[in-house]
Structure 1
Amino acid sequence: MFANDNNIDNLQQLFAELKQYAELQKDYVKLHLVEKLTILVSTLILVLVLVTLGIIALFYLSFTLAYVLEPHVGGLMVSYGIISGCIILLVLLIVIFRKRLIMQPMVNFLANLLLNDE
């Protein structure tokens, strides 16, 4: 079967090519992983920045609304109570619909990011 040196050289060349192919595949997987992690981390940072800015805006808007409501509801304490009740209601709605509002979009994003090869 391996009667001449030409076949042995061909097998050595084949093994060298397979080794190089395995190294290239390893490098490709690393690059692919880095790309996906970069997208994931940048999206996480963007969401954190947007949520932080949204909380700050909600804080200032709630104070503004409290002062706007003050003459109409009979006092500043009542307007703060109304706004606090609205914010608590908003938190409860988010907790009740967390699967539809938070979990499902996150699962869809991660599935599209990690499973789609474009």
Structure 2
Amino acid sequence: MSYAAYLPFLVQVVLAAGITTVVIAASQFLGQRALHTKIKDAAYECGILSDGSTHTRFSVKFYVTAMLFILFDIEVVFLIPWTFVYRDFLANHIAILSPMLFFLFVLVLGLFYEVKKGALEWEK
């Protein structure tokens, strides 16, 4: 095993760490210094005092929509690499189309189920 193959990676890590250190040090030493006062350190809220509780409760539908987004985002994570290796598998006579079609079928079936249950309707 040759360690020379890892040299470009090591150079990239050292350069990234060095540039990061230089940028942070330069901003620390050359950046503007401001006086800290109570007004300057307070949160900026457009000059309007907040009304009511700052910790509001969100509807469950918001979380369901977020989970559905993550689900279909994960679908893309599986589909993109599959598209890159499909030609290689096809050349070696390995059928990977049917498992991916089954995967998509299950996802579309789940989407129809969610639409039927009304999970994507905000106003009800």
Fold shared per TM-score above 0.5: no
State which structure, 1 or 2, has the greater radius of gyration over its C-alpha atoms.
Answer: 1
Q: TM-score, normalised by structure 1?
A: 0.34
Larger fraction in helix: 1
Tell me: higher relative CO, structure 1 or 2? Use CA pairs within 8 A at least 6 residues apart: 2
Q: TM-score, normalised by structure 2?
A: 0.32
